[in-house]
Structure 1
Amino acid sequence: MGTLETLPGKRDQLVEILTRHSTDLEEAGCLLYEVGVSEESPDTVFVAEVWTSAQAHHESLQLDSVQAAIREARPLLSGQMGGFRFDVVGSPLRS
């Protein structure tokens, strides 16, 4: 789970970039990539990601499509980012 702070008024532009359909991410091992917003934080984008492994996530950052999205998004960002990483150990939704 992470947060990306945008420059004032740039949140929706960042959301548009982050929510573009991408088969590359799935092929790289992304199981979940959800983007959210909250009116309580009008310049924050929330991202929840689940990957098959930390290595798969790391390698995805080298994909041409991901690098292009990063280049496009960078000017919209304030530089403030937050988040945390954890290893999934189970779920009541799966056996």
Structure 2
Amino acid sequence: MNVNHGFHATMTAQPGQGDKLVEFLLDAPSLTDPDCVVFLVSRSATDPDIVSVTEGWVSREAHGSFFATDAAQRLVADLRSLLAGEPEYTDSVPVGGKPAF
């Protein structure tokens, strides 16, 4: 599948909640959505409360359709309670590479 829409988000967890944020993200329903072809969770090597996600979707419309669902809206609401502030987003489209897992 080709990735035609994507982004990179960097989030700061509430102090000491980085592990919980990582666990939460790795249980996200987008991981099972066939239109989400890249979902990579990373964390800072120097600050365990800074977590990032890179997502790649088959289209902007597929991403929008997923986030319009009740499950995704609950996910976003629950996610906000773990964060110390607003995530920073950068649009990006993954074009290749190698899985690390």
TM superposition score normalised by structure 2: 0.73
Partner of 2:87: 81
Rg larger in structure: 1
1:38-57 equivalences under 5 Å are 38-57=44-63
Q: Identify the residue that residue 76 of structure 2 maps to in structure 1.
A: 70
Alignment CA distance shift 1:55-1:77 (3 Å): same
Segments of structure 1 that go 5 or more residues without pairing to the other structure are none
Question: Secondary structure of the equivalent of 2:80?
Answer: helix
Contact 2:42 2:51 in 1 (8 A): yes
> 1:72 is paired with a residue of what secondary structure?
helix
What is the percentage of aligned positions where both structures have the same residue?
A: 29
SS at match of 1:84: strand
In structure 2, the gaps of 5 or more residues are 1-7
In 2, Cα distance between equivalents of 1:75 and 1:92? 33
Match of 2:25 in 1: 18
The count of corresponding residues between Structure 1 and Structure 2 is: 91
Query: 8 Å contact 1:25–1:60 — kept in the other structure?
Result: no
Relative to its length, the structure with more strand (as a share) is 1
State the match for 2:11 in structure 1. 4
Q: Match of 1:85, as an amino acid?
A: D
In the superposition, the TM-score normalised over structure 1's length comes to: 0.77
Q: Which amino acid aligns with 2:13?
A: T
Please provide the CA RMSD for this pair.
2.4
- Deviation per CA, 1:42-77: give whole Å up to 9, x if none: 221110111001121122111222222222221111
Decide which of 31, 38, 42 is 1:32's aligned counterpart: 38
Write the distance in 2 (CA, Å) between the matches of 1:79 and 1:32.
25
